[in-house]
Structure 1
């Protein structure tokens, strides 16, 4: 451990977020490949290496959630119904040695019983300031703050989660809970905690609605991400440890160190503070991201989850169904713009379950390849990795038109005439899972026209969509409850939600009888 001479000492924060259950360095596309440049096991080694470099009494280790859902291993651990598998899964996170954590929105995907068991088996304190018991208005779980002392420096830690969870989760997953503005709660708790500590850090499973340096608006200010408001209006925050948006972010702005370490454990974020030992004031601050690809997987985690991982691989290779013809998607980007048999198959399935008039879906994975003739569990999870449910929504023709126009607004026409996505849907983080296409409705959009006025054709079963007529739309609950900043969607328009996830639906749909995959293209952008 290095000696800190003079009156300046170093305090280091090491931060992870959005590992999404990728405990080992594999994306499960190839069952024999464990060389992926991410994973909790690589995060663990990177953190332990940095912690050893500076000394444990100079390091605070944090995580901003989204751990329980996202990887095939996480899906399998939940599918067994055996909480001993959840204990193994949770123990992997315990091996990292976190000092404090908060929860992410996807940690609610499997319901409160599962989440509570996870919290109870988590060794690090869960800090929760804005998810309240609806009756008592006190934090529903975890603790309001944590004070840690490192080398005589008192560090106060607050924890918050995006308030937008009720827009995405089914009611039963959040029953009895109240979700409060992250900004309002940090404003409140800062007054309580700041006088007690030398350094104030906030762990936030949420991101930035405006650029943290320039202030340029990057998304509608609807409350999902309140980072910029917190940054600019609560100056007491010294260290801002964020997540949710899967961004790679490390800046110092407004006298605050701000970090976000990407996705799946591809990096850890480091905040370094030089602190005057006498006054306990910050002398300087810096931030950086440390890629985990350069660190070997932590052998303790590898050994711990080895059996769970083996069982996951066998589960993934289970055949679900055999199709009479394949349903491929040649390329995710091309599929979005031109259509693909797999997209149509997904839409056909949504219509079959809901008996709706129209279906909407996005291409959920950049690595989606669709289905061959034999469909396995691996195929389903790699093409549709989210734990969504399917809804039927009641809309007027005019409302449906507005929704499709919004989707068409994602696009631009280059000088060479090629149709492409606007940069804001690509950078700083790809957001193309928000781009929906619609079926079997036939529609065309002239991208040279102003956004909102692009549809030149909108026809269903040979008849133009009528503004005042009622239509029924099949769409996942994330979108139906407001995800993606679409107009017209609201909870009161949801007619019903299926009590099945997409793995269950594919299993049932693909085995119910002979299926003819529709290969026609029903939409065109020009």
Structure 2
């Protein structure tokens, strides 16, 4: 059984030699890499200066300039790119997955689990991390079934010693610092990936679990305790309490000396998103005076927390003189050995992406998907409704199959301003053959498909929540109507109703449906499992409204639909069922 005791202990003894009266302990962190390993954009087919081959070069530099160091990964590592899509496909064969070799070569000292680690189920999680030498962390996750105990390999905390042989006053001596690492993740994984986790694991409050693990690390001899939290903080608000974005509350626990956080893809220190929160200093990188880092996403930054220990001669002991937090951007420099190591899997990913599955008679572009209906979005709507229509046809006895049926889809990779439009930073599939890579570009998350039943009143709230992604603009600039601070995955579009959005009106009065919705009428809405289980806090959705959960990922549904279309391919005429009022056509 692949399992570690929940009582973590001392591990990984490493010794260094320095000659100084001050010693720097450097904690380095990556987070939200989302499968960006190779420094290659599989959609544009060009190299890019991000991904772990670039981060590794920066890590080597940072290690060399510190006396002792640790490297920590903070979750959402194994999902989010064509490379990780290839890994999932390869897991059905006997092929050795490349993740363990990658993490071991980079010398990670610990890996914290994020929410996306569970997207493909516990068996795949076990396979992906098989052979990783670093301990895997999660204090608030507990395996409850034999299946989960077989496939989960994690512990609430670990204590890692670092020993320095140094000379103080011409006297040789050894200095050992024991670093405790405590990991947590959002409890909402029990909603987002319920189909994988229900009856197998339990996830408790991050605060309660972290407090217990911090105390355990101290009792195990930790001199310094680092909270490794795959969670962020509420943005643009003075209310820091949130069960998903919980770092503000976690930072107030006793016994924490530094914080690594993530989940939100922000850069901290450096962002102003948290400036309304009390006791958060976004310039110094502190939360309640504790140094903290959030290193963005895709391996574009490295989080660095330095502890400087000074020898107090009078007391004849080492004490912490200073602590600091920073984020370091990667450069174009790549780690050549790591690049070479990943080359076979990189080539396999390229081949995986080029498999044709069908064709489209017209281009499928999400360039203007935040501003008007597009064929790209309509294709996803059509595929979702096609899939559910087949299910409803063979299960007509279910009451919800007789309700009006809608589809809700958000554009994941749409242009959000003139610059992203000009730079081609959006999904664009040319007319002709459609490959697996095209489908991965069109729908970038491994969501499954759910059906929720909501009232007309709830549907109005859903529409209004989506309309928050727009703002009052001017007639000369179509992009001015778009609030680029709200991510595209929070802008749901709907198929099955006609509606207009007036961004000049207050939220709650922006959307007019044609005909008007009946507040008491029930609707069956086809959406993804993230939204159906409460992701984004839309219209009171919390998982209780789900009447059907598909075992299939939406990416696979799109592939199946494209193949079902046959040689003719996708030839639909655009249905312009919604529009933004108060703007001239551009």
Q: Shared fold (TM-score greater than 0.5)?
A: yes
Secondary structure in structure 2 of the residue aligned to 1:285: strand
Q: In structure 1, what is the equivalent of residue 268 of structure 2? A: 249
* Match in the other structure for 1:230: 250
* Structure 1 counterpart of 2:58, from 31, 35, 46: 46
CA displacement at 1:276 relative to structure 2: 2.9
Alignment of 1:209-288 (within 5 A): 209=234, 216-217=238-239, 221-231=241-251, 233-250=252-269, 251-278=285-312, 279-288=317-326
In the alignment, structure 2 segments of 5+ residues that lack a partner are 1-15, 165-175, 270-284, 390-403, 415-425, 582-586
Rounded to whole Å, the distance in 2 between the matches of 1:191 and 1:365 is: 43
Provide the rounded CA distance (Å) in 1 between the counterparts of 2:311 and 2:213.
26
Query: 2:153 & 2:28 partners in 1: Cα distance?
Result: 24
Contact 2:459 / 2:539 at 8 angstroms: preserved in 1? no
Match of 1:395 among 445, 454, 468: 454
Secondary structure, in 3 states, of the residue corresponding to 2:65? helix
Shift of 1:84: 4.7
Structure 2: distance between partners of 1:280 and 1:86:
45
Q: CA deviation at 1:499?
A: 1.9
Q: C-alpha offsets along residues 442-473 of structure 1, whole Å, 9 cap, x if unaligned?
A: 11122222211222x213xxx43211111111
CA distance 1:371–1:393, shift in 2 (3 Å): farther
What is aligned with 1:290? 328
| CA distance 1:223–1:421, shift in 2 (3 Å) | farther
Match of 1:179 among 203, 208, 211: 203
1:424 to 1:385, Cα distance in 2 relative to 1, 3 A: closer
Distance 1:255 1:194, change over 3 A: farther
**Contact 2:362–2:430 at 8 Å: present in 1 too?**
no
Does the residue aligned with 1:283 lie in a helix, a strand or coil? strand
Q: Which residue of 2 aligns with 1:479?
A: 531
1:130 to 121, 133, 140: 140
Question: What is the RMSD computed on CA atoms of the aligned residues?
Answer: 2.5
Matches within 5 A, 1:396-475: 396-414=455-473, 420-422=481-483, 424-425=485-486, 431-455=487-511, 457-459=512-514, 463-475=515-527
SS in 2 for 1:54: coil
2:484, 2:439 → 1: CA distance?
29
Q: Structure 1, residues 137-174: CA drift from partner, whole Å, max 9, x if none?
A: 99963122111222311211111111111121142345
Pick closer, same or farther for the CA change 1:416–1:3 going to 2, 3 Å. Answer: farther
Contact 1:199 1:238 in 2 (8 A): yes
Cα contact 2:100–2:130 (8 A) shared by 1: no
**Residues 344/465 of structure 1: CA separation in 2 closer, same or farther (3 Å cut):** same
Aligned to 1:300: 337
Matches of 1:141 and 1:113, distance apart in 2? 11
Q: Give the structure 2 partner of residue 350 of structure 1.
A: 384
Identify if the C-alpha distance between structure 1 residues 105 and 174 changes in structure 2 by more than 3 Å, giving closer, same or farther: farther
Instruction: Give deviations 1:67-117, integer Å, cap 9, x for gaps.
Output: 111110110111133465453233112211011111111111111111122
Please name the residue that 1:319 is paired with: 356
Q: Distance in 1 between matches of 2:63 and 2:365?
A: 46
Segment of structure 1 superposing worse, 506-515 or 104-113: 506-515
Greater alpha carbon shift after TM alignment, 78-87 vs 125-134? 78-87
Task: Give matches, 1:133-144, under 5 Å.
Answer: 133-134=143-144, 141-144=153-156
Distance, in Å, in 2 between the alignment partners of 1:9 and 1:204 is 26
CA distance in 2, matches of 1:262, 1:98: 18
Aligned to 2:172: none
- How far off is 1:291 after superposition? 1.5
Structure 1 residue 488: Cα displacement:
2.5
Where does residue 13 of structure 1 map in the other structure? 27
- Aligned residue runs from structure 1 range 376-395, under 5 A: 376-395=435-454
Paired residues in the alignment total 502
What SS does the aligned partner of 1:335 have?
A: coil
2:548 counterpart residue number = 496
Report the secondary structure of 1:360's partner residue: strand
Equivalent of residue 223 in structure 2, options 190, 198, 201: 198
Following superposition, the deviation at residue 371 of structure 1 comes to 4.9
CA distance in 2, matches of 1:235, 1:420: 46
Distance (Å, rounded) in 2 between the aligned partners of 1:327 and 1:395: 30
Whether 2:189 is the aligned partner of 1:189: answer: no
Alignment match, 1:428? none
Match of 2:576 among 508, 521, 524: 521
Tell me, in whole angstroms, the C-alpha distance in 2 between the residues paired with 1:247 and 1:85: 35
User: How many Å separate the matches in 2 of 1:155 and 1:53?
Assistant: 19
Where structure 1 has 5 or more consecutive residues not aligned to the other structure, the ranges are 426-430
Would you say 1:335 and 2:369 are equivalent positions? yes
8 A Cα contact 1:377 1:503, kept in partner: no
- For 1:82 and 1:361, the matched residues in 2 are separated by 29
- CA-CA distance at 1:274 after TM superposition: 1.4
The question of whether the paired residues in 2 share the 8 Å contact of 1:342 and 1:371 is answered with: no
- Greater CA radius of gyration, 1 or 2? 2
1:379 is displaced (CA, Å) by 0.9
Shift of 1:303: 2.3
1:252–1:258 CA contact under 8 A, matched in 2: yes
Distance in 2 (alpha carbons) for counterparts of 1:309 and 1:424 = 33
- For residue 433 of structure 1, report the CA deviation from its aligned partner: 1.2
CA deviation string 1:20-53 (max 9, x = no partner)? 122201120233x2x3011111122221222122
Tell me if the contact between 1:104 and 1:205 (Cα under 8 Å) persists in the aligned partners. yes
Cα pair 1:135 1:176 within 8 Å, conserved: yes
Instruction: Choose the corresponding residue for 1:310, options 331, 335, 347.
Output: 347
